[in-house]
Amino acid sequence: MSATTEKTMISLALDCVNNLLGTFGDDVKKRFKARARDMPTELFTKGFAYMITLTAARSNASLVEVGLRASRCADIMDRLSGSRGLSEEEYGYAIYGAIILYILKQAGIISGSSLSDVIKSSLNDPTIDQHAILVVEWIKRLAEAYIT
């Protein structure tokens, strides 16, 4: 992984956490922080495809896919904050999954246009897991630092 790619992903993660802070209430932020703390274990033990599928299963696949279409992290927050009928827990999973997809797509690590495309391609590309590890670790630390 190049230093430029790593810096890009860290910068995007910080931007996304900052956007989250200004968009959602305390309950959703706490659920996101909980996801940021527990999802790295899923990634380490079962891989990226399983982890991202889990975020969709516990929220909504179309909401997680928002991360693939967003050009800015603010777009993710705008789209997801406008969604109705979700519990705070479901928001936490949807935001987390969408942010991961957004960062990896913006950094050029993934290129699929749907969640199923990303899942299929990640099964044959172990480098996606390696890049995702960096992203989830930074999101975890940023969530712990900024969300009280």
> Read out DSSP for 113-130?
SSHHHHHHHHHT-HHHHH
pLDDT at 1: 63
Residue 9 and residue 73 in contact, taking contact as beta carbons nearer than 8 Å: no
* The pLDDT of residue 4 is above 90: no
Query: Which amino acid is located at 139 in the chain?
Result: I
| Cα–Cα distance, 3 to 22 (Å, whole number) | 29
- Evaluated on CA atoms 115, 138, 93, 87, the torsion sign reads negative
* Residue closest to 5 by CA, chosen among 137, 141, 135, 148: 135
CA 83 to each of CA 10, 54, 115, 140: distance values in angstroms, whole numbers, following the listed order: 27, 19, 19, 24
pLDDT at 3: 78
Using one digit for the tens of pLDDT, what is the confidence trace for 72-121?
999 999 999 999 899 999 999 999 999 999 999 999 999 999 999 999 99
pLDDT at 138: 97
